[in-house]
Amino acid sequence: MISGENKRKHLSFIQDVIGRMGSNSFLLKGWSITLIIAMLTFAISLDEDIFESEAEKIYLLCLAGALVVVFWALDAFYLSQEKAYRDLYKEVSLKDEGEISFSLDVKKFLNDENSWFRSLFAPVFLVFYAPALGLVLFITIHLSGISLCF
């Protein structure tokens, strides 16, 4: 076997995992925006005859807000995993083939910097999910009749 071929194959496996994490994140963003906009549109546009009370519209909007939070948390999980696999890739690329364990376990890389909680506040999520959550909250407050003026 050619020297270094096992290392290249292992790096290729790690790179494939990183790619899947990135595409999962992309799909999550697409599904989240689709579902949230659909729920907001549904809650705003339906006649009041269909709902027995205004509270049911508020429940639907709260469900949309919960979806934002769930998608945000799941997306942050994928980002933290992706960062951990990038660190594994970096470590494997610096080692000689004889020193590599050929494991895909990234537990040791899920430290403070790559934690799920820290990933929640990554700029990409603050730009994408925070405005979505703000929009849901604004519409919910507006439809509930709560006055924000003091």
Which residue ranges make up each domain of the chain? 5-144
pLDDT at 47: 63
User: Residue range 15-43: average pLDDT?
Assistant: 92
pTM for this entry: 0.84
Confidence bin at 3 (pLDDT 50/70/90): low
User: Residue range 106-111: average pLDDT?
Assistant: 89
**What is the overall mean pLDDT for the chain?**
87
Confidence bin at 67 (pLDDT 50/70/90): very high
| For the chain, percent of residues with pLDDT exceeding 70 | 89
Nearest to 76 by CA among 133, 37, 20, 115: 115
**What contacts 120, CB < 8 A, 6 or more positions away?**
72, 73, 76
Specify the amino acid at residue 121. F
